[in-house]
Structure formats: C-alpha cells, structure tokens
Amino acid sequence: MKRFWKILFDEPICVGSVVKYRVRHTQYTQSGLGEVIAKVGKKPRQKLELLLLNKRLAPILNSDQSFKRRTVLREHCKHIDVTFVPKSKKQFEIGDIVCRNILSIKKYGVIVGFKNPDELFSTSYESGFNYTDLIDCVEINPKSLRRLRDDTGGMKKFQCPHTKLKICQVDLWDESGVKLSM
C-alpha cells in the first residue's frame, strides 16, 4: 500500500482513531486500514478491534450488509492522520471543466455524467469516478464558458475516456476575461 497518510507516533491510539495495520503470517501478509472501536485486554498483549475501512476511508461491508471487523494486536498498528490524505490529481467530478486535446484540436467542456462502455449501470455517481467509464461532456466556449449549441438547437456533447481529458483551472477575475489553464 502506498504511503498516503502521515504516521503519528506521539499520539496514543484510542477508540475512534484510524490506524494502519500489518500482520505477517508464515505464508502471507495482511494489511489495511481500520477505525478502532474497542480495546481488548491489558497493555502488554492488548488487542484492538477494528472496523475495516477502504482507501477512501469508507467502511467495508460483508455480503449480509454488516460491517467487516478484525482484531489485531496493538503492536501491529500505527496511528495515522486522516487529514493528510491528498486528493488524486485526476478525480473527475460532475461540473468540472475539462479540455480534450486530439491532434492539436482542443475542445473544452463541462462534465455532465458518466457512461459505462458496456451499457451497464455506472457506479461513478455513488462512489466517485471508477476509471473505466466514459465521461459525458457538454461543449463550452472557453472565452465565455457558455454552452455551445448545434444546428437543431440542442447542446453539443462529446464522450471521451479519462486518458484524453485534462482538468482545467478557471480564473474568472483575469484582466483579459475568463482564463482556463491546465
């Protein structure tokens, strides 16, 4: 697992703390994240009961919709600071202004939805962009940020995979007007 979190050595582990654990067995290693929900036993061999979390710090559920739990020795856990988690550079969300550059032809657009290439239900709406969906965009004018229309009066749209798009930063207060930069 990559080091996204800052490890805190001076803060004590208490109920409600988020910890990173790693347990080495003879044939495999278990590692992950969890929130401490209980302490079991006394100090030398104290165990922590953890509510398991995924990388986005959301609880992991079993098939019967109950929370996954694990009991781990305290010596295998490290306290982490969850406010240090950086945001991914390419985390696409609805409403982001993006630029598509193909053969030096730039198109600017606003993300309005996600579409699965296999016409299945997209999970990007509930749990964030999943990097397999196509991104639906409405084309905009980069100077005024107005939506462009086609000959029939409908919105101009385009679909694109995430590898062809870059998120733009918008400066509304530039001296020359609206400025988009990547």
Question: How does pLDDT run across 52-103, given as a tens digit for each residue?
Answer: 998 778 899 998 989 999 999 988 888 887 665 445 556 888 888 999 988 8
Token match 């020359």: residue?
Answer: 176
Angle 164-169-175 from CA coordinates, rounded to 5° = 135
Q: How many helices (H) and strands (E) does the chain have?
A: 1, 13
**Per-residue pLDDT tens for 128-137?**
788 888 999 9
Q: Which of 92, 170, 97, 95 is nearest to 140 (CA)?
A: 97
The class of domain 97-181 in CATH terms is mainly beta
**Above 50 in pLDDT, residue 2?**
no
Contact partners, residue 130, CB within 8 Å, separation at least 6: 122, 123, 124
Residue 45, pLDDT score: 87
Residue 1, pLDDT score: 40
**Topology agreement, domain 6-84 and domain 97-181:** yes
Q: Domain-by-domain residue ranges, the chain?
A: 6-84, 97-181
Residue 37: left if φ>0, alpha if ψ -120 to 50, beta else—which one? alpha
Mean confidence (pLDDT) of the chain = 83
Token match 């988020």: residue?
Answer: 18
Architecture of the domain delimited by 6-84:
Roll (2.30)
Residue 125 CA from chain centroid, whole number: 12
